[in-house]
Structure 1
Amino acid sequence: MNIKNSNSNIKDFTQINKFKGKTFVIKYGGSIMSNDAAKQAFVEDIALMTTAGIKVVIVHGGGPLINTWVNKTGGENKFIKGLRVTNKETMEIVEMVLSGNVNKRLSSILSIRGLNAIGISGKDSNLIQAKKKFVYDDTKKIDIGFVGEVVSINKNLLLNMLCSGYIPVISPVGSDKEGNSYNINADYAAAAISGVLKAEKLLIMTDIDGVYTDITDPSTLLSSITVEETKEYINQGIVYGGMIPKLECCVAAINKGTKNVHLVDGREKHSLLLNIIKNCGTRIITAKGAN
């Protein structure tokens, strides 16, 4: 790994060492999985982080591949407020893609690198217990199918894995007490997991630089945004589409005990290390002036 000679010009790794023993939850977005260079840099970053003694939990998405398979089977990719409308047939595709394909591919490339990665589903050992989620348009209640809302996380399972030196790689498919499977937005799953673990950092890797007040103007990229500002931007329509659940989950993570939450550009090589060293991307904070 030759990070120092990358265009990031990282020369000082001392800041990484101060996180020894801390827990980082990383949401690995499906939209960056096809970028081979970024994917390889991601694996190298995880290797360096674990070498520095950081405990890592990975929650992955897989939206683009789900879209592909829904199209192949003649289905419709439909979203409401950034969440996938998931009927019974789509739920089968979601589980096949996330738990059977993406999860095993990601855990495999980490394991080949020599890391102790174990791919699991949210259904394993009741890792993610869920219930049916509804969305609302003003006062109108909308049924979006087998989309789940996190009820509880099996904290002990994760702690046992982390204490044993493993990296949990989690597919965000949960189930309820009756055994029904639910498609859980990976951002929400990562937020719930980071909250219950009181993680030092939740790093949400996505395919943009961060939060903009005007997506067409690069100069409007925000280095930080407060909890209240996220609500205002959503209500005003400044933030829309898939960015809505991302920011909502960031707020939820902070409210549940995560110490630091960041949106980082997963397309940029070594974006995880850059965040640790330079705080790149957008940081969600409780209020102006918060550390």
Structure 2
Amino acid sequence: MDKTTAQSVAHVLIEALPYIQRFAGKTIVIKYGGNAMTEEHLKAGFARDVVLLKQVGVNPVVVHGGGPQIGDLLKRLGKTSEFIHGLRVTDRETMDVVQMVLGGLVNQEIVALINRYGGRAVGLTGKDGQLIRARPLREINGPEGLTAVNLGLVGEVEGVDPDIVHTLDHSAFIPVIAPIGFDHNGNAYNINADTAAEKLAVVLDAEKLFLLTNTPGVLDAQGQLLARLSAAEVDDLTRAGVIHGGMIPKIQCALDAVRSGVTATHIVDGRVEHAVLLELLTNEGVGTLITR
């Protein structure tokens, strides 16, 4: 390493120092999905980021999706996926695939990757420690208000028992959570990963919630990134139609989190390598910060 490069590295570390000090001992919940969990170099970068955060005293909790992987396996099995308002209709056969992919293949791949880079990850589903209690999702709050739906074994979070996450979080371990909930009879439910992450962030009293997406963040009417927004500004942009389509459910999760006590939600482009570190530990960041 030459002197100029070494000075650049030192500058980056000095810039990160106040953020490391501010967030040491704090919990951050990261919803991990999109390209970030399908492209190899991004997967490796995310795993290293999570390990580094734990090493400097931040407590990351990872909640992952897996929709494309579920869809691929269903297709190989000859089963067609049906969606209503962006949610996968989940019969019992599909739920078996969801549990196999989310609770098994995807979860364990993330755990193994974090461990490869020196972390101590532990894979969980909602059944472990009665972490996520669920009930059938019967209504969706869309642009036209509440709409009744029949999605089969798609669930909503009824309650969260954070004890097992606290136990892991306050030790050397990194929880990696598959968004599968269970009712009191042991029935499994497929839960939207954004929603699961938001509910966990609130119950864990998290400092921050990160939602990794395949977009740069929230954009204005000219397509430019909006780096920081208050909840009131988000409401105005939504009413004006600037925020629309697939961004609305993520925005709703972000707003629900900050209005329920999470200090800030970050909507971050998971296609940017080391996006979580850049957003959390630098002055500029790479996504949209949403606060009360």
Structure 1 pair 188–139 and aligned structure 2 pair: CA distance change class (3 A): closer
- Name which of 213, 218, 223 aligns with 1:211: 218
Residue identity matched to 2:252: E
Residue identity matched to 2:288: T
| Deviation sequence 1:181-230 (CA, Å, 0-9, x none) | 1111111111011101111111111111112245xx542x2223333454
Residue identity matched to 1:171: A
Residue identity matched to 1:159: H
Question: Who is 2:285 aligned against?
Answer: 279
- Tell me, yes or no, if structure 1 residue 185 matches structure 2 residue 192: yes
CA contact (8 A) 1:196 1:256 kept: no
- Tell me how far apart the structure 1 counterparts of residues 185 and 177 of structure 2 sit (CA, whole Å): 21
- Name which of 165, 181, 184 aligns with 1:174: 181
How does the TM-score come out when normalised to structure 1?
0.88
- Tell me how far apart the structure 2 counterparts of residues 101 and 241 of structure 1 sit (CA, whole Å): 30
CA contact (8 A) 1:196 1:257 kept: no
| Deviation sequence 1:16-58 (CA, Å, 0-9, x none) | 3221111111111144212111111112211221111001110
Q: How does 1:1-291 map to 2 (within 5 A)?
A: 10=12, 12-18=15-21, 19-136=23-140, 138=145, 140-214=147-221, 217-219=222-224, 221-231=225-235, 233-234=237-238, 238-276=242-280, 277=282, 278-286=284-292
- Tell me how far apart the structure 2 counterparts of residues 89 and 244 of structure 1 sit (CA, whole Å): 30
Which runs of 5 or more structure 2 residues have no equivalent in the other structure? none
More deviation in 114-123 or 65-74? 65-74
More deviation in 132-141 or 36-45? 132-141
CA contact (8 A) 2:154 2:191 kept: yes
Structure 1 pair 156–267 and aligned structure 2 pair: CA distance change class (3 A): same
Which runs of 5 or more structure 1 residues have no equivalent in the other structure? 287-291
CA contact (8 A) 2:126 2:179 kept: yes
- Tell me how far apart the structure 2 counterparts of residues 90 and 56 of structure 1 sit (CA, whole Å): 30
CA contact (8 A) 1:203 1:262 kept: yes
Residue identity matched to 1:283: L
Instruction: Please state how far the C-alpha of 1:237 moved relative to its aligned partner.
Output: 5.2
SS in 1 for 2:153: strand
CA contact (8 A) 1:31 1:64 kept: no
CA contact (8 A) 1:81 1:242 kept: no
CA contact (8 A) 2:268 2:275 kept: yes
CA contact (8 A) 1:82 1:245 kept: no
Instruction: Please state how far the C-alpha of 1:131 moved relative to its aligned partner.
Output: 0.8
CA contact (8 A) 1:59 1:190 kept: yes
SS in 2 for 1:262: strand
Aligned length: 278
Instruction: Please state how far the C-alpha of 1:231 moved relative to its aligned partner.
Output: 4.7
Residue identity matched to 1:114: G
Residue identity matched to 2:196: A
Structure 1 pair 67–233 and aligned structure 2 pair: CA distance change class (3 A): farther
SS in 2 for 1:268: coil
Structure 1 pair 262–236 and aligned structure 2 pair: CA distance change class (3 A): same
Instruction: Please state how far the C-alpha of 1:92 moved relative to its aligned partner.
Output: 1.4
- Tell me how far apart the structure 1 counterparts of residues 88 and 72 of structure 2 sit (CA, whole Å): 14
| Percent identical residues | 39
Question: Who is 1:289 aligned against?
Answer: none
